[in-house]
Structure 1
Amino acid sequence: MVDSINPVRLEDVAQAAGVSLATASKALHNKPRVSEQTRQRVLQAASKLQYQPNILAQSLATGTTGTIGLITSDLNGRFSTPILMGAENELSTQSTSILLANARGDSTLERTHLEKLLALKVDGIIIVNPETNPRKPISTSIPVPIVYAYAPSTNSNDCSVTCDNVEAGRLAINHLISCGRNRIAIIGGDESFCAAQDRTKGALEALHEVGLEPAGQIRYGQWDENWGRAATRMLLSQGTDFDAVVCQNDQLARGCIDALKERGISIPTDVAVIGHDNWEVLTQSSRPTLTSIDNECEQIGRIAAHNLMDAINGNPHHGVDFVSCRLIQRGSTVPLD
């Protein structure tokens, strides 16, 4: 049992682990130049002794508070929630907590949240937006490090982390080709979004590498099921010969599947369909279940938090880190016999 009158000190942990005070501190804060074996020995000693760090003393000694702020404008949390989870997982071994604020897509509210978080003396800030369109920096005079997640900053000197949508477009085409499909149509989302442009770019590159062109015209519209249905009906009414469809998000794919089923077309036997975003509320309820590309938002959050801690510790990152997406195969795409 922990003694509330004589609490366990860092010195006690160091003595129990057989290391110096400095080494114990580095191990508990996941600092470099400590072997994994030593780190584990210190962590085990701390756990056995039920060591609780003195946050106030640490703050006074280091000039940090052990907190970072995360400001999101993602109203439904589809992207910000896994980014938050990834950041928390990265910070879980570093005694750092996250204060979350939702700006609800309002730039004025975003700035207000920033000022409140700075008043709370957070050590750094992660900014999350719900699309990958580059955004203006929230400020050029923030006194703490900042990392932009999902939507990169337009300032190349800033640190940003986002998904690789060009590679995702290639991934979708290459998967369908591996399934034996070679007449592949593409249904785009809103062309004003970088995600639509980048996914198309990657898809066309992959098609051209094997001497193919898209089946029918690439059309762009809203990111919803209605446009997925309408675009698919246009492909069918124009007599386009296709055996697969790349849809640039899962809502488009659900609409596409509905329109194909209306015509008695079997998925995936006659036409394979792939979506993007891996939104499980859609991919799992689709019949058949929907193959989709995951943006790896947890990994984006993990890298964003890692880069932010590097900056807090005096090693800032600059430019954009592109995180590879991951294909999740389900029932809507299978290899041809």
Structure 2
Amino acid sequence: MATTIRDIARAAGVSVATASKGLNGKGRMRPETRQRILDTARDLDFRPNRNASSLTTGRTYTVGLLTRDGYGRFTPPLLGGVEDSLSVDTASLLLCDARRDAVRERHYLDVLAARRVDGLIVTGRATDPAPPLPRSLPFPVLYAYTTSSNPDDSSITVDDEHGGWLAARQLLRQGCRRIAHITGPVSVLAVRDRVVGARRALAEAGLELPDDLITYGPFAERTGFHAAQKLMANEQVDGIFCGSDQIGRGVADALGGIGVRIPDDVALVGFDNWTLIANATRPGLSSVDMNLYRLGRLAAESLLRAIDGTPEPGVRRLPCSLAIRASCPAPITDTTEWLDDSPLVPDA
């Protein structure tokens, strides 16, 4: 016989109503009571009857995730956070990839509506505002990493300005005073936001980041390699903020090739904390972490609140943190710069 909620209640020493609230994350109860209910359910291998629950709640316990331009490098950590958060609600995730195709996107929206999903998370490869989905959809929508151009929609994204500020602050902490920036295309909103943040950090120290010390280009190792060679031939700098870890690895290769010691002569800080690249760089690359796993968790939690009737419109930004390695090893004294527990910051 399958374990029932009555079995859970009996074994946990609570009422059936309390067991139901504990399993569904509803109601007010002591944390230890809720945990006892969840532990009992796991020990008894409880499998909820979603058909019966759906009749009661009107939910299907399925959520869609639509990526508009393919599964990129940033998708797995964000997806992991979404899945882990939804698992608490025992909800399933349906993945859809529109591949920048409006017809395919419309098809997936129709499919998700036909499957009666409870809600939808929309993501993409860039934080730039994207055209919103139709507001006539029969389920709430939340934008994660990418943002909606409609301010009435709910969006959670990265605070790239804060990330740029962190990177420049770390270089200043290392003792750098002549800092350059090698980064991605100026057309990308995140690139422009990071420049603003870096300039703010330098201004707080009485320094500047002039335009002639900023190099824009593709997010690629070759960008960092060639820009660093040109920079060191014409300028005297002691710190470089790299707009991605790929760029940072290219910069490190170029500096090593001309005998510049890292971090003794020039310190480096990258962006993304792509551990595969950052750990393989010589020396290891200090990098700004966008906390994408936590962003995924927060996005799913916000969507679940919207499903329960409490949407959170507007754009909220998740602060970044630092991963310290040998390329810029100055110790951090402010724990808010590396602990992943900063609050979401709403746009003004």
Question: What aligned pairs does 1:99-248 form with structure 2 within 5 A after superposition?
Answer: 99-214=94-209, 216-238=212-234, 240-248=235-243
TM-score (norm. length: structure 1): 0.94
Where in structure 2 are the equivalents of 1:89-100 lying within 5 Å? 89-100=84-95
Query: Where do 5+ consecutive residues of structure 2 fail to align?
Result: 332-348
Q: How does 1:4-153 map to 2 (within 5 A)?
A: 7-73=2-68, 75-153=70-148
How far did 1:123 drift?
A: 0.5
Distance in 1, matches of 2:320 and 2:218, equals: 22
Q: Is the 8 A contact 2:171 2:239 kept in 1?
A: yes
Matched, 1:257 2:252: yes
Distance in 1 (alpha carbons) for counterparts of 2:26 and 2:133: 30
The DSSP-based 3-state class of the residue aligned with 1:267 is coil
Change (3 A) 1:41 1:76: closer
Q: Which amino acid aligns with 1:225?
A: E
Distance (whole Å) between structure 2 residues aligned to residue 111 and residue 80 of structure 1 = 21
TM-score by length of 2: 0.91
**3-state SS of paired residue (1:185):** strand
- Kindly provide the amino acid, as one letter, of the partner of residue 35 in structure 1: R
- Structure 1 unaligned regions, length at least 5: none
Other-structure match for 1:314: 309
- Structure 1 position 101, deviation (Å): 1.4
1:334 has 2:332 as partner: no
Aligned partner letter, 1:8: T
Name which of structure 1's ranges 200-209 and 17-26 shifts more when overlaid on structure 2.
17-26
| 232 and 12 in structure 1: CA distance in 2 versus 1, 3 angstrom threshold | same
Q: Please tell me the residue identity of whatever aligns with 1:226.
A: R
Q: Report how far residue 74 of structure 1 moved.
A: 5.0
Q: Give the whole-Å Cα distance in 2 for the aligned partners of 1:132 and 1:244.
A: 27
Percent identical: 43
The alignment of Structure 1 onto Structure 2 pairs a total of residues equal to: 330
Residue 203 of structure 2 aligns with an amino acid whose one-letter code is H
Secondary structure of the equivalent of 1:334? coil
Distance in structure 2 (CA, Å) of the matches to 1:8 and 1:246:
57
